[in-house]
Amino acid sequence: MYEYYAKWIREGKLKVNSDWNKDLKIKFTVQDPCQIVRKSFGDPIADDLRYVVKSVVGEENFVDMTPNKSNNYCCGGGGGFLQSGFKEERLAYGKIKDMQIKATGADYCIAGCHNCHAQIHELSEHYGGHYPVVHLWTLICLSMGVLGENERTYLGEDLADIYPPNVYLNED
């Protein structure tokens, strides 16, 4: 999916911009989903993912994890772990991911897949980091000024009331 987001941004179809975050300077990091990056398309799609994220939150507001891309650590949400019943082990598995996220100093973690989102969200609560975990589609819509009121469940307080102008309204 990210390769299409990236393509549509490059083609000017998705008019994302990062102006909304110029003064806020909210920092974001991103989880590379193993399934999409390491297991399927490799670093090129991880680069597309970063291109999208940077276009949306601002280059200077993106902080990468270490290691990252194809060498990234799995968060522990994959392979059925979330449904397997081994909760304690799953949280132990995710400790390294939580530490990686905290080490970036980012305010938010962007998750590109449902399992990652659920797992990292739980890690954020369990290990006390309380960084919000957001879907990429939320931020893309936010940046274009089209994110609705009901679509903000995963945003933190700092972004809950941020409504940038709808960039498609002032066209022509």
Partner 1 sequence: MTDEAIKISGKKGSYFIDMVKTLLPEGGNLNLCLTCGACSSGCPATGLAGMDPRKFLRMAALGMDDEIKASKWPWMCTMCQRCIYVCPMKIDIPQLVFNARTLTPREDRPKGIRDSCDMALKVDTCSAMGCSVEDFEFVVGDVLEEIREADPFWEERDLQAPIDKEGAEFFVNQNSREPMTEPEEMAPLWKILNLAGVNWTYGSKAWTGENYCLFMADNESWKKIVTMQTEQTEKLRCKTYLNTE
25 versus 39: smaller Cβ distance to partner 1: 39
Residue 94 contacts partner 1 per CB under 8 A: yes
Using CB under 8 A as the binding rule, whether residue 19 contacts partner 1 is answered as no
170 counts as binding partner 1 under rule CB under 8 A:
no
6 binds partner 1 (CB under 8 A): no
Cα R_g (the chain), whole angstroms: 16
* Residue 106 C-alpha from the chain's centroid: 11
Q: In whole angstroms, how close is the CB of 139 to partner 1 at the nearest point?
A: 9
Rank residues 4 and 60 by Cβ distance to partner 1 and give the closer one.
4
Contacts 24+ apart (CB under 8 A), 145-153: 145/169
How many chain residues touch partner 1 (CB under 8 A)? 56
Residue type, 151: E
- The footprint of partner 1 on residues 48-87 (CB under 8 A) is 70-74, 76-86
Residue 26 vs 144, nearer CB to partner 1: 144
Residue 143 binds partner 1 (CB under 8 A):
no
89 binds partner 1 (CB under 8 A): yes
Q: Does 45 bind partner 1 (CB under 8 A)?
A: no
List the beta bridge partners of residue 109.
29, 133
Please tell me whether residue 28 binds partner 1 under the rule CB under 8 A: no
Residues that bind partner 1 (CB under 8 A): 1, 4-5, 8, 13-15, 33-36, 38-39, 70-74, 76-86, 89-90, 92-97, 112-114, 118, 135, 137-138, 140-141, 144, 146-148, 150-151, 153, 166, 168-169
